[in-house]
């Protein structure tokens, strides 16, 4: 998990992120944008490395879009479109395949 987090921090230029693993009944992962930002992951989903990598990447994209206003407030694109434009590490088909695992 540490390796995955380091790679995503390098790719997205997001620093000082805390990762917490807890059991959740319905959540896959979520992010608190406090200082430092905290990513909480569902412990039942971290055994699959591909799912783990996707979840960390997804949450770091949320952090990036909320921390850097020039990215967040560029005109013409919705938040979802900006999110998808940053999520280029996985092909759309791969994202759908990973999402079906949980």
Q: Residue ranges per domain, the chain?
A: 2-99
CA distances from 1 to 8, 16, 28, 69, 78 (A): 11, 15, 15, 28, 31
| Predicted pLDDT of residue 71 | 56
What is the CATH code of the structural domain delimited by 2-99?
Answer: 3.30.2010.10
| Predicted pLDDT of residue 9 | 62
| Predicted pLDDT of residue 92 | 78
The yes-or-no verdict on residue 7 having pLDDT over 80 is no
CA distance 57 to 11: 9
For helices 49-67 and 2-12, the axis angle rounded to 10 degrees is 40
Interval 29-46 mean pLDDT:
90
Percentage of residues in the chain having pLDDT higher than 90 = 20
The first and second tokens of residue 10, run together, are 């390098």
């Amino acid at each position: 998990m540490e390796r995955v987090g380091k790679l995503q921090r390098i790719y997205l230029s997001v620093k000082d992120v805390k990762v917490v693993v807890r059991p959740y009944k319905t959540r896959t992962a979520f992010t608190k944008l406090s200082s430092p930002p905290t990513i909480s992951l569902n412990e039942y989903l971290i055994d699959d490395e591909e799912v783990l990598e996707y979840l960390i990447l997804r949450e770091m994209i949320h952090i990036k879009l909320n921390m850097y206003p020039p990215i967040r407030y560029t005109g013409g694109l919705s938040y979802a479109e900006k999110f998808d434009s940053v999520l280029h590490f996985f092909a759309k088909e791969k994202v759908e395949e990973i999402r079906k695992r949980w």
